[in-house]
Amino acid sequence: MKFFGEDIKQVDKGYFGVRRCTICNDELQDVNLVELNSNFNIFFIPVRKLASKHILVCQNCGAFMEINEELWKYYLSYLNKRFNKSTTDEIIQMLTDMNEQLITNGVKLELDNKYAQQSIDLIYRSMVEKYKVCENVEELISVFYK
């Protein structure tokens, strides 16, 4: 805690999912949610709370990405239903296996390819049926197929 001035406190909220990390060659990496709270102190006493920020921190390299307020509110809408690490790993492994089979057969799925969209929608619907949390499934599929 600072005697005088701005003091930033970092609170690690734990595992939050996977993201493609540009520092780690755009590979999928586990990320933690970290909250940064800023206070202004006078004589070690916090007199005013400044801004709070939410960032995702790559567990592999420590790089971070700030989550804007709009995206954070969306994540909050299903925060208590987010998948744990083992479920996330299971889904990513299923997507990886499926994708490898498709590539072996000459098919490459990409989110921005309108012809691949129906296939990705089919994968999405089948995973929502199995895992029930459509927002979290959508997030994982969009991160995977980037």
pLDDT of residue 39: 74
CA-nearest of 98, 102, 88, 79 to 28 is 88
CA-nearest of 128, 121, 133 to 84 is 133
Tokens found for residue 27: 């590979």
pLDDT of residue 2: 56
With vertex at residue 112, the alpha carbon angle to CA 111 and CA 116, rounded to the nearest 5 degrees, is 60
Cα dihedral across residues 23, 24, 25, 26: positive or negative: negative
pLDDT tens digits, the chain, 146 residues: what are they?
556 566 667 788 899 999 999 999 999 999 999 988 877 777 666 666 666 889 999 999 999 999 998 998 888 888 889 999 999 999 999 999 999 999 999 998 988 888 888 999 999 999 999 999 999 999 999 999 98
pLDDT of residue 5: 64
pLDDT of residue 4: 58
pLDDT of residue 38: 78
Instruction: Report yes or no: 80 and 70 within 8 Å, Cβ to Cβ.
Output: no
Measured distance CA(135)–CA(42) in Å, rounded: 43
Measured distance CA(113)–CA(121) in Å, rounded: 12
Q: How many CB atoms lie within 10 A of CB 5?
A: 9
pLDDT of residue 101: 95
